[in-house]
Amino acid sequence: MPDPSEQEANLKKYQELLPSLSGSEGKYALIYKAELIGTFDSYADALAAGYKAAGLNPFLVQRIAAAEFVAYFTRDIGSAVCHT
């Protein structure tokens, strides 16, 4: 199981770099081991480079944007009520 602190470090690094990445808004940043590997025009390109650099180890691909859109998803449907 991946260490959550690795992803926290990657996300922290992205947040630190965000002001310097403003010229690349709309592109995708690849961060592995809390280091910027590069920016990419598409999510697919960043993801492919991430797997090439990190294999199955945790890495972060984040769309570069001044305002962050956060979405949370869960698989916990135990408390959901079915109305059908």
Q: Is the pLDDT of residue 20 over 80?
A: yes
Q: Are 49 and 40 in contact (CB under 8 A)?
A: yes
Question: Which helix H or strand E contains 40, and what residues bound it?
Answer: strand 35-40
Q: What are the tens digits of pLDDT across the range 43-76? A: 999 999 999 999 999 999 999 998 877 666 556 6
pLDDT at 66: 85
Which carries the bigger pLDDT value, residue 32 or residue 73? Answer: 32
Distance, CA of 34 to CA of 13 (rounded, Å): 6
The predicted model gives 8-22 an average pLDDT of: 94
Distance, CA of 8 to CA of 21 (rounded, Å): 19
Domain parsing of the chain, residue ranges = 4-63
Q: Are 84 and 52 in contact (CB under 8 A)?
A: no
Q: Are 46 and 28 in contact (CB under 8 A)?
A: yes
